[in-house]
Amino acid sequence: MKKNISIISLLALFTIITFSCTSKEPKEKPNNNTQVTTSNENGLIVVNGYLIRCLDEYIPDNGIVELPNTIKVIGRNAFGNSRKLKSIKIPNSVNHIDEAPFANCSNLNEVIMGDNVESIGRGTFARCTQLRKVKLSSNLKSIGDWTFQRCESLKEITIPKSVTSIGEGTFDNCKNLTTIHCKGITPPKVKEYEGKHSWLYKATLFVPKGSKKLYEDKWQRFSFKNIIEE
C-alpha cells in the first residue's frame, strides 16, 4: 500500500514540475503593434514603404519607370547595375534616397525627383554615364558624397536653394559638366575633399544676384571657369 502511495506521489510531483517548466512565459513578448507590410508586385519589392529592390522584370521595354506613391524610401542598391532603366520618376511620397540605389545604371539618362525628398545618400547616381537630365527636389537639404561621380554625360544641373550641405567628390569626373545653377544666396557647405577639382575648370557657376563674392570666398578651391550672377 505504501509503495502505491509513493508511486502516486512521485507521478504527481513529476507532473507539477513538467507543467511549471513548459508553461513559463517567454522572456520577450512579441510587439503586437508592429505591422509589416510587404509588396512584391512584378519585381518591385517593398517593405513598410522601403523599396528594397526593383528587378528588371518590373521595368518596361521603354525603360521608363514611375514609382508608386506607396514608397517612402528608396533603398540601397535598389536599381543598382540595371542596364534596362532609362528614366525614373520619383513620387512626392519619397523623403529619402539611400546609398547608391542607381549606381552603375549605365543607360539611365533622366531623373525627375519629387519635391519631398530631403536627402540623397552616398553615390546615388555614381557611374551613370548616360545621365543627362536631373531635376532635384525643391526641398532637398543634403547631397551625399560622390552622388554624381563619373556622370560623364551630365552637362548642366540646378542645385535648389534649400540645399545646405554637399558631400565630397559630388561631381568627381563629370568631365562635360559646364553649367551649374546654385539657387541659394548662402553657398552650401561642401565637405572637404583631398582630391583635385580640375573637372570643374570648364564649368560656369550661376548664382543669385548679390552673392557672387560669397561664392568666390567659400568655393574658391573649385576653380570655376566663371561665376555669374543671374
What pLDDT is attached to residue 221?
80
The pLDDT-based confidence of 38 (bands split at 50, 70, 90) is low
Domain presence at residue 42: no
Q: Is the pLDDT of residue 29 over 50?
A: no
- How many domains, in total, are found in the chain? 1
What pLDDT is attached to residue 18?
36
Domain presence at residue 11: no
Higher pLDDT among residues 176 and 193, named by residue = 176
Domain presence at residue 36: no
Domain presence at residue 24: no
67-88 pLDDT, tens digit each:
999 999 999 999 999 999 999 9
Please state, for a pLDDT cut of 90, what percent of the chain lies above it: 73
Domain presence at residue 182: yes
Domain presence at residue 74: yes
CATH number of domain containing 200: 3.80.10.10
The mean-pLDDT minimum among 14-23, 131-140, 149-158 falls in 14-23
| Mean pLDDT across the chain | 85
Q: Is the pLDDT of residue 111 over 80?
A: yes
90-99 average pLDDT score: 98
- Looking only at the bridges linking them, the beta strands covering 142-143 and 165-166 are parallel
* 3-state SS track over the chain: CHHHHHHHHHHHHHHHHHHHHHCCCCCCCCCCCCCCCEEEECCEEEECCEEEEECHHHCCCCCEEECCCCCCEECCCCCCCCCCCCEEEECCCCCEECCCCCCCCCCCCEEEECCCCCEECCCCCCCCCCCCEEECCCCCCEECCCCCCCCCCCCEEEECCCCCEECCCCCCCCCCCCEEEECCCCCCEECCCCCCCHHHCCCEEEECCCCHHHHHHHCHHHCCCEEEEC
47-67 pLDDT, tens digit each:
999 999 999 889 999 999 999
pTM: 0.81
Range of the domain at 171: 48-229
116-138 pLDDT, tens digit each:
999 999 999 999 999 999 999 99
Domain presence at residue 17: no
